[in-house]
Structure 1
């Protein structure tokens, strides 16, 4: 059934199935616009009767790309690491990750790949203002989007999910959103405030369980990592099915127990020194909100935008 997606400035998208993104992936480094998609840009209509490859240059690992259509009707992608694609007139996008997402329950791999769960387009996107470096997760209660990377210290400029950023924790403290200095600690209140500044929120318990599925269970890193998305033979175990990096066994991640009316501060996943306790079901669902430690970090999330 054909339905129209939401309007963004002068762009309108019609898709055969609004429950799926208009982008599809064939292999690790190629992407196409799905057959049956119609895109209208400033009155010009582009119809894609068959799967149509998007022209890509050399892709850089850990980078976000956004899609536009040129004057000849050819879709192409550009690096949007330094700009919000939704505010810059792009119609769709994806993340080229430094490693592949988990296929089973033993983590991912260290070969760069397009993350198919990071596909977004106007009308099929996270509800937050910036869709970069996020992956969609489906679970029993619907859909949501989670950051691919842990929060970096300089998030006010880089956003909450950026490859190669210094991981924010209770020692490497994050900047305040207004740039007035760093927080004195990364406690629950700071985590909530940072996520809200970016139009995001914290993960609930069931969301975290779904978001982190696919990691190698009951293990953690042997030492503290300092930057997001850094890969080695050890780190690949902690990439989950949707391509989230350091999903477990790296930093405890602030969240809530998921109660709809009175959510309690919670921490998930386990840090690098909890050993076999770490994993996708590792959680403390009633934690001290004022605590801030060198192994407490943050992964932000967003609701899924409902199709128009």
Structure 2
């Protein structure tokens, strides 16, 4: 039995949609308090657990700047609690982390063992969670770093862009932050593989290819137009990070090197535009006639 911590987020919902022989139990906020070590143990001891996938996190990047305690509680304290439970029970632990643990100044894809240099409270809190796992239970834990996750569910860049493209006469989108969009569907499959096969270590997973947020937005419009998801086509203007200041600082370049994951998991990620097309198909199918 694999326990998924999280119920309503993009990753948890993508895991729920995977057709698998594995028994997955989803525990949301109303089912388990991962910030309380004692309560966490009492809840999880009710199950015959073989692995835990942590699909929960504090992900409000800008809000974290004014709520550091809340960010660290979910991204550090709760992660340490889960790692200790997994160590005590000798079960595998899969945890999802982020490209925001890096500084963004390297200029070439980040390797799993590159040094930390978070630029935000969110990034620092995710770094702290990783460090807790590496200190407590590195031998049977898998940290999967990813970036720019989206799906047909919840709030994400793709759904926000579709909404704005149907409402606004034009859009301005940042073109000097470079990374890789990642469909939650592919990420979910990787997490399940790690849990099922007891793969340990730190690995990077994103879809294939590289893009700026501007590139991503342009592709969303082009593909959504083809799939009749937009009622209009609007101009999209590239702008700099300087022109669109945010409370949290983002890495300028956070492409992740996926070689160790491709070798360990024996998978080849699909290009982000291919995955985007598939997710837009899901959004189209879920819309009322």
Where on the TM-score scale, by shorter chain, does this alignment land: which range?
Answer: under 0.3
Structure number with higher relative contact order (C-alpha < 8 Å, ≥ 6 residues apart) = 2
More helix by share: 2
Q: TM-score, normalization: structure 2? A: 0.26
Q: TM-score, normalization: structure 1? A: 0.25
More strand by share: 1
